[in-house]
Amino acid sequence: MTTDHGLRFCANLGWLFGEVPFEERFDAAAEAGFSAVEYASPYGRSPVELRRRLKDAGLRQVLINSPVGPPGTPTAAGTACLPDQVGEFRDGVTRALDYAVELECPLVHLRAGVRPADVPRDTAFSRYVANVAWAGQLASGAGVRLVIEAVNARDVPGYLLQTQEQAAGVVAAVGSDQVGMLFDIYHCQVSQGDLTTRLEEFLPSIAHIQVADAPGRAEPGTGEIAWDFVFDRLRARGYPGWIGCEYRPANRTADGLGWLTRYAPEGNG
């Protein structure tokens, strides 16, 4: 549901409702008033199971990520910029699109990856652009849109894509409506600031937004970002997409959702 207020928020089940096991987070999100969810990795469960959980809770899935390697390995933040991982990357995109189609999920986030020290930046960047272009073509056949996200270097040192300008440049270079930006307000604040200027500049390319406050990455209202100002701007510009709650709740998730009722008074989407 889009309200007159215009902003639609979805719950990231990888980050929110950590008080209960993953399987129970669907119901927890619905009980908290969400009508949509996102999470990075559906791959440990069958699409049939996930579809059932979504349906039973009355939720829709709006974003998944393409697969990444195990934590602590060179592919933990993705394979898209790694010249020796093209096969892995393509297999991962194919798998992600299969899941997205099964879950009726409109967006897949392609993680760029961390550039290895022995790979020149230009080499990693051109591999990345070529991979995203390849994935965009495959995604158009599946009716799914891809998004790419700039991530701050404090949280993920060496991540290839660190600024909104770089992400916008890749979207422009690929030149396909099938690829858009995932603008994470927390990452932008940590790396660059000047949030609303950047949001407004890149709005035509932005297909998804995520939120957390800075510097602690907890709920909006726990840090330095002027959320009234930011959300007013997004509302005034008619941002039509979802806003993913990708934050680490300061306490129990439900206890920290007061901020949301201010910005989505008629329900979270």
Ligand X SMILES: O=C(O)C(=O)CO
Q: Nearest approach, Cβ of 151 to ligand X (angstroms)?
A: 5
Task: Kindly state whether residue 155 participates in binding ligand X, applying the rule CB under 6 A.
Answer: yes
Binding mask 232-251 for ligand X (x = CB under 6 A): --------------------
Q: Which two tokens stand for residue 156?
A: 């993920």
Please indicate whether residue 219 is annotated as part of the active site.
no
Q: Nearest approach, Cβ of 7 to ligand X (angstroms)?
A: 19
For ligand X, give the closer residue by CB, 31 or 155.
155
CA distances from 17 to 52, 116, 151 (A): 19, 34, 23
SS (H, E, C) 95-139: HHHHHHHHHCCCEEECCCCECCCCCCHHHHHHHHHHHHHHHHHHH
Is 93 in contact with 113 (CB distance < 8 Å)? no
The one segment of 135-143, 148-156, 192-200, 201-209 that binds ligand X by CB under 6 A: 148-156
**CA nearest neighbour of 146 among 156, 132, 157, 158:** 132
Q: Which of 92, 99, 145, 149 binds ligand X (CB under 6 A)?
A: 149
- The site for ligand X, by CB under 6 A, has a size of 5
Q: Nearest approach, Cβ of 108 to ligand X (angstroms)?
A: 12
The one segment of 90-98, 150-158, 167-175, 261-269 that binds ligand X by CB under 6 A: 150-158
Q: Nearest approach, Cβ of 150 to ligand X (angstroms)?
A: 9
**Cα Rg, the chain, nearest whole Å:** 17
Q: Nearest approach, Cβ of 23 to ligand X (angstroms)?
A: 22
Given the residues 31, 88, 104, 149, select the one marked as catalytic: 149
Q: Which two tokens stand for residue 227?
A: 């959320």
DSSP letters for 168-205: HHHHHHHT-TTEEEEEEHHHHHHHT--HHHHHHHHGGG
Q: What are phi and psi of 244, to 5 degrees?
A: -85, 130
Please indicate whether residue 104 is annotated as part of the active site.
no
The one segment of 49-57, 85-93, 147-155, 191-199 that binds ligand X by CB under 6 A: 147-155
Q: Which of 63, 82, 151, 207 binds ligand X (CB under 6 A)?
A: 151
Given the residues 102, 224, 246, 266, select the one marked as catalytic: 246
The one segment of 22-30, 112-120, 151-159, 257-265 that binds ligand X by CB under 6 A: 151-159
- DSSP, collapsed to helix, strand or coil, labels residue 50 as helix
CA distances from 133 to 61, 90, 184 (A): 24, 11, 22
Footprint on residues 181-200 left by ligand X (CB under 6 A):
184
Measured on CA atoms in the order 69, 74, 78, 81, is the torsion positive or negative?
Answer: negative
Burial class (CB in 10 A: 0-12, 13-18, 19+), 264: buried
Q: Nearest approach, Cβ of 4 to ligand X (angstroms)?
A: 29
Positions touching ligand X (CB under 6 A) are: 149, 151, 155-156, 184
What are the residue numbers of the active site? 149, 246
